[in-house]
Chain A
Amino acid sequence: MRRLFVLLTVLAACKSDDPTETVDAAPRPDSIVPDASTVDAGPSPDANPACLPLPTDYRPRDGATIDDTWPVCISDDNAYHPFDTSISTVARIAAFEQIATLLFTGAVPTSQDFLDARVEYNLSNGLASRVQRREDEHYPPATWDEDMTGGPEPYTCQQLAGFPDAVAALAANADRCVGPAKISPVIEAAFAVGQDAGTNSVEKRIAAAQIEGALLWFLYMSNYKEAITCTNTPVDCDSSFAYYTGGDPREQGRGMARYVRALDPETHDRAWDGILAVRCWRDLDNPTGVAGDLAMRNLAVAQMDRATLRGVALIVRDKTTELAAEQVLASRVALWELLRVLGPVLDRDATLRDAGLAAQLRAELAKADHADVDPAAIVDALDLLYPCA
């Protein structure tokens, strides 16, 4: 009977109607996204003469390679030379900037702003597609005992997402499967709140702040991840470069670079040095095939990661200082929500550096109410944990 019903339905299948277009509100005029910092963060800790590069760091700004231990390579002219001049990641950073224009200006975004931003987020092969599969290469590959025999086996997070028990599998590997397990849910939930015309301005501010924190988290994570996968796929080094810089030269910068450069040019330059170190490694290590010198890779990636993590720390520090000075309740709430999303990104590395300070930081970031937070404790912990890039 069911097949007969389906048959009759199919036979009667006329062309379905095109959907009715939703009427949008008036578009917001384009606005320039201000530098991330609006509060004087004080003198840069890197002004400390003690903040010197490590002896093993690649130092392209110093010109001659005799100043570092690295062989002559393609990055020695202090410029990034892509494997492929067409870096699709640049388009995703452009989308990030478009979202920033709509949601991260400090003003209260409207529901239409969230809808427009969501469209940007969901472009084909856009940010959403990458967030949903992003893995944190700081952690070992995900494992799962899918067939319940013989113990867990390694899988990609994409594979876990296709299992019947995907929710449990991803949750069990949440650190590794950071995109689908942690970042994407924050962003999707925030869009759901922000686009709802029934939510109030405070809720919209919170949603925008959560999206900003989550996307910055994603940009940092992607810069690291692509540097690692560049081992097998050389063009991933280009993606790593673009996830930090937006494809811009050192003197400029979009995406994460825009934030970090505004807060501390030296940290930004150290991040660039690290990116060029990664490119140098790849140039020296079988540039047309699979790399084999993992020691050099790890050296280069560690240099880059130190700098970009300090960049994250500076953003968190900046927002914490802003929180301390902020008098408007709605803004305080929003800032705190951003910090609760982005701050824990530092926990893994902070714990390696100093378990006690990391615990202090963790405890503050775990507080649900901004009124209970001790901003000075956060800033002090960060200054001690991340004094240099």
Chain B
Amino acid sequence: MGRVVCAAVLGLLVAGRPAVADETIVIVDPAPELLPGRASSTVTREDLDERQPRSAPDALRWEPGVYVQQTAAAQGSAYLRGRTGQQTLLLFDGVRLNNSLWRQGPNQYFFTIDTRTLAAIEVMRGGASTRYGSDAIGGVLHAVPRDPGFGGRRIRPRIQLRAGSADRELGGRVETSARLGDDLALLAGLGYRDVGLLEGGGAVRGTDGDPAIIPSLEADGRTQRGTGFEEAAWDARLIWRRGDTTRVTLGYYDYRQLDAPRTDQCPPPFAPPSECLRYDEQFHAMAYVAVDGEVGRWLRRARAVVSAQEQHEKKTRHRPLSSVENAGRDDVRTLGLRLSATAEVSERVSVDYGADGYLDLVDSVAWLRFTDIDYVRYDSRGQYLAGSRYATTGTFAEAAWTRGWLRLRAGGRIGATWARAPGDVASATTAIDRTWAATAGVVGVDWRADEHVTLIATVDRSFRAPNLDDLTGRQATGPGFQFENATLAPERSLTAEVGLKLRGERGELDAWAYTSRLAGAIVRSQRGVEDCPDDECRAAWFRYQLVNVDAATVVGAEAAGSLDLTLATARATIGWAHGRGPNPQERPSDPSLAYAEVVPLSRIPPLNGSAEVRVPWAWGFAAVGVRWATRQDRLAPSDLSDERIPTGGTPGYVVVDLRAGAKISEQARVGVVFENLGDAAYRYHGSSINGPGRSAMLWLELTP
């Protein structure tokens, strides 16, 4: 039966498809496949223009095996094969964005990439530490920036405007692509956005029928408190071409987000409605110089990148009933260097190789302010320890041998990670000075059975070294107060995956299955007050500390396919993950109390997927999209105390969107997205916010 189905699918794919209608030329750089032979997908510039995502994480909702969680409207974190945050690697133009302050679980940092500057987002699912080092366990998200154009008019301005009804968003971007010479071009832009409170489709309810405590809703039962923010971004990208094979890129990208509440803490559960934790300032700036070139067969696709980044966060917990503010500032500056190239050893053998290193410099402070008298008292330490340092470095090589329809891959990385932080007597914080050796490896085989069918198998070993957030951080998290564990060891994953790729004239299908075992998985373990290092910890309802557990496993499958229906194109995705691991809590001494040796991993996404049908025509397009997920009631122990998850788990949902766009002249395009036509009340598992209710988003692009 399986063969019949496969043959039927293959038949549809090879039946041929008509040409796509011409559209306005958009500046696009085709993104090279991040890691050949691995599970991957790409969000193209066209996808971004048509779908109008609210953010870079939001842009990934239609990708197979990706599930996006949002703790706040101004934040978003993509789950790749059940892993997120520290366990997924984010790249911007090949530059590592992950730094040593990224916390366990979802984080907001991919949100700080302006999608309007991107040509594409590459999504690679699965381990990739061989190429990219620590953190690439669940996968890699690679944001590929747009390049200025070298053809056409000398100066090409562009204005983009957008307005949305769900959150009263109003914003836009102005940019210009300037050809400064035959071999010199500049793309510079400036964007701004003002986003209001997000209106959902209503309250999301738990199995007890009660609305989830988070988010707090206005009297209309739809508008979510603790949402809304402002952002501005500016960027400049200068490309200098030297001959046919060499180019120098200077890039500067600056993102600033202001006044963004953390929805699950605005207000916190059971706290007065006026209490709110806000990210007053969430900034990210990066500057880099990249040299791409080729020098003989040993330095094909050679690249050298020197980068400097700064991540700045200032947040304040406002408690007006007591005239109190608890605030803190955390800064991390990162210097980076990455060298990579491909050596064509022979006609059949090529080797990708390189080396990289990144150094973090951390500053962190916290204070209390009595706002009625402007009294300020600094804590002895911030969320982290000022003066901390963190470095990660490595060298890698990955070879590929190709003969006919068979391709073998094998590679490895060796490196080291170093973490250093001062102690603090007043807060009972011990100093740390730790070093870990890091190794990774990958082997794989791609077999092209014929021109339509490729089978792929890969075994990957990746790793994640504990970072400064794990080793020194103290913070209020969703489930409770988390304090540091200076003795953590690295996580090491071993993933085996098999894939099937079908390619035909009428469409394609990618299907993958994997099992990933994470030794030394770092998870939250509940602690008692006697374990607490300070009073804030002791007074918390729940207290957690990160610990290494023996092994956690995630198995899953994902698939994506597209089909040409002659007058339309259909696309569908599906993803499933099942995660489990040893219970991080000790068995209770009372045998009558229930205890499970093996428990679900935290916030593993439910079975989910999407489907789209797109109809193009000469001057535009129309599309309908469906996003769905089943209920997720497999909850980890820490999930049970996480107020972001309704009682009994997160309900399933089906959300239908309509999109349309048209070129109304050579200089103008317009479009609309009608979101959530059914006005469903829904949320992505683990999120604090509910998805937008029935709403519309209008966009206009002018290229005078």
Interface centre among A6, A15, A124, A146 (most CB of B within 10 A): A124
Chain A contacts for B369, CB-based, 8 A: 19
A90, B543: Cα distance in complex, Å: 14
B654 at the interface (CB under 8 A from A): no
Query: B271 touches which one: A92, A129, A195 (CB < 8 A)?
Result: A129
Alpha-carbon distance A243/B101, docked complex (angstroms): 37
Assuming the contacts A85-B528, A122-B324, A180-B272, asked whether A18 and B232 have C-beta atoms less than 8 A apart, the reply is no
Question: B322 an interface residue at 8 Å Cβ cutoff?
Answer: yes
- Interface stretch (choices B371-379, B574-582, B603-611): B371-379
Interface segment, one of A20-28, A59-67, A330-338: A20-28
Complex alpha-carbon distance, A16 and B378, angstroms: 16
Question: Is there a chain A Cβ closer than 8 Å to B312's Cβ?
Answer: yes
In the complex where A16-B280, A118-B370, A123-B536 touch, is A88 in contact with B541 (Cβ < 8 A)?
yes
Let me know if B17 is at the binding interface, CB within 8 A.
no
> Are the CB atoms of A20 and B376 closer together than 8 Å?
yes
What number of A residues sit within 8 Å (CB to CB) of B? 47
| Distance, CA A94 to CA B537, complexed state (A) | 13
Interface flags, A101-128, vs B, CB<8A=1, else 0: 0000000000000010011011111101
Measured CB to CB, the nearest residue on chain B to A146 is B219
- CB closest residue in chain A, given B225: A162
B11 proximal to A (CB < 8 A): no
Say which residue of A18, A86, A126, A180 sits within 8 Å of B529 (CB atoms).
Answer: A86
Q: Are A88 and B194 in contact, CB atoms less than 8 angstroms apart?
A: no
Given the known interface contacts A13-B256, A90-B529, the answer about A132 and B539 at a Cβ–Cβ threshold of 8 Å is no
Q: Mark B314-333, 1 if CB is under 8 A from A, else 0.
A: 10010101111011010000
Chain A residue nearest to B232 in the complex (CB): A10
Q: Is there an interface contact between B377 and A132, defined as CB atoms closer than 8 Å?
A: no
Chain B residues positioned under 8 Å from A90 (CB to CB): 529, 538
User: Across the interface, do A124 and B234 meet the contact criterion of CB distance under 8 Å?
Assistant: no
How far is B536's CA from A95's CA once the two chains are assembled, in angstroms? 11
Closest residue of chain A to B327, judged by CB?
A19
B230 at the interface (CB under 8 A from A): yes
Interface contact B322-A22, CB-CB below 8 Å: no
Question: A26 to B536, alpha carbons, bound, how many Å?
Answer: 24
CB of B538 within 8 A of CB of A124, answer no
**B194 touches which one: A6, A87, A123 (CB < 8 A)?**
A6
Contact status of A15 and B283, CB under 8 A, knowing A162-B273, A195-B373: yes
Tell whether, in the assembled complex, residue A122 and residue B319 are in contact, meaning their CB atoms are under 8 Å apart: yes
Pair A21/B378 contact, Cβ less than 8 Å: yes
Q: How far is the CA of A39 from the CA of B495 in the complex (A)?
A: 74
Can you name the residue of chain A whose Cβ is closest to the Cβ of B375?
A: A22
Q: How many residues of B contact A (CB 8 A)?
A: 56
With a cutoff of 8 Å between Cβ atoms, the chain A residues found around residue B326 in the complex are 124
Q: Binary interface profile of B, 255-289, with partner A (CB < 8 Å = 1, else 0)?
A: 01010000000000011111000001101000000
CA distance A121 to B319 in the complex (A): 13
Given contacts A24-B377, A161-B273, contact A123 B539 (CB under 8 A): yes
A6 touches B529 (CB 8 A): no
Question: A7: nearest residue on chain B (CB-CB)?
Answer: B192
**B347 at interface by CB-CB < 8 Å:** no
- Of all chain B residues, the one with the shortest Cβ separation from A129 is B271
Report the bound CA distance from A91 to B374 in whole Å.
27
- Asked if residues A13 and B232 are in contact (CB atoms below 8 Å), the reply is yes
Is there a chain A Cβ closer than 8 Å to B476's Cβ? yes
Chain A positions within 8 Å of B528 at CB level: 85-86
Instruction: Tell me if A329 is interfacial: C-beta within 8 Å of chain B.
Output: no
Residue contact B272 to A133, C-beta cutoff 8 Å: yes
Produce 1/0 per residue, B526-565, CB < 8 A to A: 0111100001101111010000000000000000000000
The distance in angstroms between the C-alpha atoms of A122 and B319, with both chains bound, is: 9
List residues of chain B with CB within 8 A of the CB of A328: none
Residues from chain B with a CB closer than 8 A to the CB of A87 are 529
**B192 and A22 contact, CB distance less than 8 A:** no
Question: Chain A contacts of B476 at CB under 8 A?
Answer: 124
| Cβ–Cβ contact B536 & A10, under 8 A | no
Contact assessment for A18 and B270 in the assembled complex, using a CB-CB cutoff below 8 Å: no
Q: Which residues of A contact B324 (CB under 8 A)?
A: 122, 128
Q: Are B375 and A124 in touch, CB under 8 angstroms?
A: no
Verify if B339 is at the interface (C-beta below 8 Å from A): no
Q: Tell me if A188 is interfacial: C-beta within 8 Å of chain B.
A: yes
Partner of B281, one of A11, A15, A19, A118: A15
The answer to whether B322 and A125 touch across the interface, beta carbons within 8 angstroms, is no
Q: Which of B272, B378, B539 meets A158, CB within 8 Å?
A: B272
Does A192 make an interface contact (CB < 8 A)?
yes
Are B375 and A115 in touch, CB under 8 angstroms?
yes
B residues 304-359 touching A (CB-CB < 8 Å): 312, 314, 317, 319, 321-324, 326-327, 329
Contact B367 A21 (CB under 8 A): yes
- Quick check: is B365 within 8 A (CB to CB) of the other chain? yes
A3 contacts B194, C-beta separation under 8 Å: yes
Check B281–A16 contact: CB distance below 8 A: yes
What B residues does A158 contact at CB under 8 A? 270-273
Q: Is A240 an interface residue when CB atoms closer than 8 A count as contact?
A: no
CA distance A11 to B233 in the complex (A): 8
Could you tell me the distance between the alpha carbons of A85 and B593 in the complex, rounded to whole angstroms? 14
List, in ascending order, chain A residues with CB within 8 A of B314's CB.
15-16
Does A75 interact with chain B (Cβ within 8 Å)?
A: no
Q: CB of B455 within 8 A of chain A?
A: no
Contact B539 A21 (CB under 8 A): no
Bound-complex Cα distance A68 to B656 (A):
65
Q: Which residues on the B side are within 8 Å of A11 (C-beta)?
A: 190, 192, 232, 234, 256
The chain B residue with its CB closest to the CB of A84 is B528
Given contacts A18-B365, A119-B377, A132-B321, contact A92 B272 (CB under 8 A): no
Q: Is A124's CB under 8 angstroms from B536's CB?
A: yes
Which residue from B272, B312, B323, B367 sits with its C-beta under 8 Å from A19? Answer: B367
Given A3-B194, A146-B219, 16 additional A-B pairs, CB 8 A: A7-B192, A10-B192, A11-B192, A15-B281, A18-B365, A21-B376, A21-B377, A88-B538, A91-B529, A91-B539, A95-B535, A124-B326, A124-B476, A128-B324, A162-B216, A195-B375
A-B contact pairs, 13 of them (CB 8 A): A10-B230, A13-B281, A16-B280, A87-B529, A91-B538, A124-B540, A125-B540, A128-B319, A147-B219, A158-B273, A161-B273, A162-B216, A195-B375
Which A residues fall within an 8 A CB radius of B? 3, 6-7, 10-11, 13, 15-16, 18-22, 24, 85-88, 90-92, 94-95, 115, 118-119, 121-126, 128-129, 132-133, 146-147, 158, 161-162, 180, 184, 188, 192, 195-196
